[in-house]
Chains A and B, each alone.
Chain A
Amino acid sequence: MTNSLKKTLLTGFLLTVLFLAGGLVMPKWLLFLSTMALSHGLVSLGIVLLMRVGVVSFGQGFVFALGGYASAMAANHLGITDAFLMVLVGGGAAVLCALPFAPLLSRYRGIFFAMLTLAISMVLYGILVKTEALGGSDGFNVSRPTLFGQSIASEQSNWVLYSVAVLVVGVLATLARIYVDSVRGLVSLAIRENELRVEYLGASVSQAVATNYLLASFLGGVGGALTLMSLGHIEPNFAYWTTSGEFVFVAILAGHHSMLAVFVGSFVVEVVRSFSNLYFPNTWQLAMGLFLLVVIRFLPLGLGSLWIKRKNKQSAKQEGDQS
């Protein structure tokens, strides 16, 4: 195992422990808000992986809803109520449903990729709204999940579900960091920069786009399952375009350099949304829009550039000192 791999694993482990410990002192409202931020952040993390290969999906609501519906149906109809199993069902179902679209989408770039993903998510939205067996536009409820065969007490549910979210996000975000730092991750970034060159070097660009799309689908599905467990309810709005838009919003806010920034961005959005909803119920989108404009103006590479730039400067200084 290389030093950088060890460092990534150790950082992931320490951050996970830190967030778990933080949950012990958080009030209930903050636990719920943080769980939502972590769950939604996973979907945005998927978009960040797509951004690293040069495309943006405007339709991640597709896999977010699929993950939520699949885990909800698994709980209600198959008796799969364990939180971690529901997460796996959500992620797996999203990948299975995204699989047929991956070869098609991998041929498109820019706005065409974005609009196709949006179209796919809106088709799913239409189907969900019209399907009475799934509750139509009202959706349906799901009981609180269990954990390793044990039911979760009502007063502990927020903390337990937050802890589940932290563990799942901790593992997946660490894996995402390892992937981004890997050989394949670097090739993905080169595709974003110069697709023609990569193709002429013998790598398959469409395969890389399809791979990142499927990884993003898994993350989206897991995010949907985690959100469902916290809300105890699922509805077609999970697939609606405005939901997808919020995931893109967070991804742009975070930038594509830092995995942690995605969850910081997601948390900021949840906080701004909650408080704006409370004090400016009809204008919270205005506050969010202004906030994004400020970030784009002063941090064009996203929140992550705050600490990634510093890290790069330190490495450059070290290299300069060595030479």
Chain B
Amino acid sequence: MTTAQTRTMLSARGLMKSFGAVTAADNVNIEIPTGQRVSLIGSNGAGKTTFVNMVTGYLKPDAGTIELDGQPIAGLGPRLINGMGVARSFQIPQLALDMSALDNMLVAAACNDGQQSFWRPAHASDRIDRAMAMLSKFSLEEHAYRRVSELPGGVRKLLDIAMALTGSPKLLLLDEPTSGVSVDEKFPMMDTISAALASENVTVLFVEHDMEIVTHYSDRVIAFYSGRVIADDLPSKVLDDPQVQRYVTGSLKQGH
């Protein structure tokens, strides 16, 4: 954990979001310092993904403010927010299935460097070298020339994250990076992600349901329930919180 850093990377204040009668965000207040690895936990419908979607511009909050590194971003579209340094991966990886893993990386690089030349070949050797370097960070180089539709789910997840990381974002949001991955693969996969992120100066928020993963890979845990933040502290403290045990992990024994 990077305790020495005090600058706030993400600040959300008074966030509100409703879908009809359902309140998905109810006065959410979150401050995240630069460099932290924060996991968001909560049962389905607790408001984790709504929060991620509001930060990345997919949803506009009904009320409240969101600031990235001091700049307001609430209500801006995904493209503008990405340009300010926010990248994300998806629960269901969003990839070009009919293209190779390498081509997906080349697209990510082209979108991020803003140099979308009309004539410069997409498959220029310098571009391929950079894309392969990022793929190898995630141990994906052996899959570079395979079509994404032929790749297993875990590999697609890693590719999705590698693409998000291509633009060297300030803030990276990972929506359930280990969902749909077998128990045996979860830890190696998170180790790969952690190793790839180690060299990047990036603040990370990840939505996660596996409490072992949360304990091992987070500096801090924020627990959601019914659109509200019910706990926000170190992993050990949050997971010991009776409210979290009752509403999130389901580990509170009867009589407590």
Contact = CB atoms under 8 A, between A and B. Distances in A.
Interface of A: 2, 4-5, 178-179, 181-187, 189-190, 193-194, 196-204, 316, 319
B111 A201 contact: yes
B166 to A, nearest CB: 8
7 contacts: A194-B94, A196-B94, A199-B79, A200-B82, A200-B87, A201-B111, A202-B79
Interface in B107-156: 107-108, 110-112, 114-124, 127, 145
A185 B122 contact: yes
B17 interface: no
A197 B94 contact: yes
B106 A186 contact: yes
Contact of A179 (B77, B97, B119): B119
A184 B99 contact: no
A202 B116 contact: no
B205 to A, nearest CB: 15
Given A179-B118, A183-B117, A200-B87, A4 B123 contact: yes
Given A2-B121, A193-B95, A201-B107, 17 more contacts: A179-B118, A181-B122, A182-B117, A182-B118, A183-B122, A184-B117, A187-B107, A187-B110, A189-B96, A189-B99, A190-B96, A190-B103, A193-B96, A199-B77, A202-B83, A202-B111, A204-B79
Contacts of A189: 96, 99
Nearest to A7: B121
Interface residues of B, number: 39
Interface string B76-105: 011100110001100000111111000110
Interface in B50-99: 56, 77-79, 82-83, 87-88, 94-99
A186 B124 CA distance: 12
A2 B165 CA distance: 28
A182 B122 CA distance: 5
B167 interface: yes
Contacts of A203: 79, 110-111, 116
A179 B79 CA distance: 23
A183 B110 contact: yes
A197 B107 CA distance: 10
Contacts of B117: 182-184
Contacts of B114: 202
Contacts of B118: 178-179, 182, 184
Contacts of A4: 121, 123-124
Contact of A181 (B79, B112, B115, B123): B123
Contacts of B121: 2, 4-5, 181-183
Contact of B145 (A2, A181, A196, A319): A319
A185 B98 CA distance: 15
Contacts of B78: 199-200
B144 to A, nearest CB: 9
Contacts of B164: 200-201
Interface in B152-180: 163-164, 166-167
Contacts of A2: 121, 124
A169 B188 CA distance: 54
B14 to A, nearest CB: 26
A187 B116 contact: yes
Given A186-B107, A187-B111, A201 B119 contact: no
Contacts of B88: 200
Contacts of A186: 103, 106-107, 110, 122
Interface string B189-218: 000000000000000000000000000000
B119 A182 contact: yes
A2 B78 CA distance: 34
B171 to A, nearest CB: 13
Contacts of A196: 94
A202 B123 contact: no
A197 B98 CA distance: 14
A261 B176 CA distance: 44
A81 B193 CA distance: 65
A4 B88 CA distance: 33
5 closest Cβ contacts across the A-B interface? A193-B96, A201-B111, A186-B122, A202-B82, A203-B111
A178 B56 contact: no
B56 A197 contact: no
B148 to A, nearest CB: 9
Contacts of B83: 202
A190 B104 CA distance: 8
Contact of B107 (A5, A179, A181, A198): A198
A193 B111 CA distance: 15
A316 B94 CA distance: 25
Contacts of A199: 77-79
